[in-house]
Amino acid sequence: MSRDHDDVNLDSSYDFESNIDVCFDFYSNIESYLTVDHEIDVCVDIEGNEAVFAIDVQAFGHDTATELNLVVVVEQGEWSSITATGYAAAD
């Protein structure tokens, strides 16, 4: 018995229903302790060449982010340099 492809009735439907509940709790407790030895004894003879700066950047809002990049370079007996870049942002 031979059948023509027009004689074949194929139902390929598939009913699928899914209900997925995901529930999780997250607790994080981070503690940090830092002890700094702040006793510094420096003897520098400055003869009229000094550069001083202060940085105060603030952003107020609910979601905030800050970043500070700091590079300090000292070429002993020649020069010293501080480069600071960063931002404070808030939404």
pTM for this prediction: 0.40
Q: Is residue 7 part of a domain?
A: no
Q: Is residue 6 part of a domain?
A: no
Q: Which domain holds residue 37?
A: 16-91
Q: Is residue 1 part of a domain?
A: no
- How many domains in the chain? 1
The pLDDT tens digits for 17-68 are 888 888 888 888 888 787 877 777 767 666 767 778 888 888 888 888 888 8
CB 82 within 8 A of CB 71: yes
Burial bucket for residue 88 (CB in 10 Å: 0-12, 13-18, 19+)? middle
Q: Is residue 61 part of a domain?
A: yes
